[in-house]
Structure 1
């Protein structure tokens, strides 16, 4: 598969950015540096140097560091959702509670795949203190999306108080990410799934 399509699913990235080979390399490099070193700690000069391009090329492709941050978060969102959908692929459509539990399995495998620094979105939110920054809305929407997914499947399963319980499941999901990144649990996925079933008020079948 064309690597540009692996980045954003098409030749156009977030905001209509043309994902040329140089743009792909810049985004890959920025994504690694932003996640592991922090958004504010990494400047465009470092990103350009590490990607093997000029600052002019970086600005030509993405326009600004802020837009590169948005592209990074959008790319991260797409990666997570692809991983989640693949994890859910073999769960029957008529088993919504199993789908909910599989989300926590997917989280465990995601974190094990070189994502030990925790949630990229929460990390980014802590650094993007300007409330008008376009990346913040993307972060909020990502969390709302997951909460709604929980709510939809709880409703489908006929669970009472689906909305309130979806909020608790989201908080559990985020807390599990923190526990894993800090090595505070010997088996975080099992703990998450057991707690999720307690929240739901059902016993796993």
Structure 2
């Protein structure tokens, strides 16, 4: 293994953790495995993230950043707020179509960290709240009187489709959810 340059270890660890945590589950993957996959020492892992919990939080924050960038990319092609909302369903479907889809990483993390006070759960809440806020902001432009209720309903459609798609191993739930969203807005 080549020598890791200072500053590279954190990125390597985060990349390895992202793959392993999503594919195998957070609790199923130990720091030894992450460090070995990243080609760094455990000391480098701990030096960058402090603990496994710190690494899990960083992994979810990075996934949130990537997801927000994907939402921005997919919705940027639309100027109509209704179309931007519907494009979120397309973003979910695109995420599903990626290799190795195992559902929503944030919902998966929630099932592994049941304590509502855990920092992992705070990152999950932030992620879901940000998506709800995005939907609400778009709906506020299109349906100001119903924006709050519609954002709640659309979140249920999206989350339900995300879970159902894993069980069915199909993108069809996203098509159904988008069709229902079209009737709502």
Gaps of 5+ in 1: 1-18, 201-205
Q: Which stretches of structure 1, 4 residues or longer, exceed 3 Å deviation after superposition?
A: none
Equivalent residue for 1:105? 90
Does residue 1:172 correspond to 2:157, yes or no? Answer: yes
- Matched residue, 1:132: 117
In the comparison of the two structures, how many residue pairs are matched? Answer: 180
Match of 1:81 among 68, 84, 93: 68
Residue 54 in structure 1 maps to residue 41 in structure 2: yes
Of Structure 1 and Structure 2, the greater helix share is in 2
Which stretch shifts more, 27-36 or 153-162?
153-162
1:66 aligns with 2:53: yes
Alpha-carbon distance in structure 2 between the residues aligned to 1:113 and 1:186: 11
Q: Deviations over 1:173-200 (max 9, x none)?
A: 0111112222265633321221002222
Kept in 1: contact 2:96–2:171 (CA 8 A): no
In 1: Cα distance, 2:117 partner to 2:130 partner = 20
Structure 1: how far apart are the matches of 2:11 and 2:57?
A: 14
Which runs of 5 or more residues in structure 2 are unaligned? 1-5
User: Judging changes above 3 Å, is the alpha-carbon distance between structure 1 residues 97 and 30 closer, same or farther for their aligned structure 2 residues?
Assistant: same
For residues 34 and 61 of structure 1, the distance between their equivalents in structure 2, rounded to whole angstroms, comes to 17
CA RMSD of aligned residues (A): 1.6
Counterpart-to-counterpart distance in 2, 1:117 and 1:51:
22
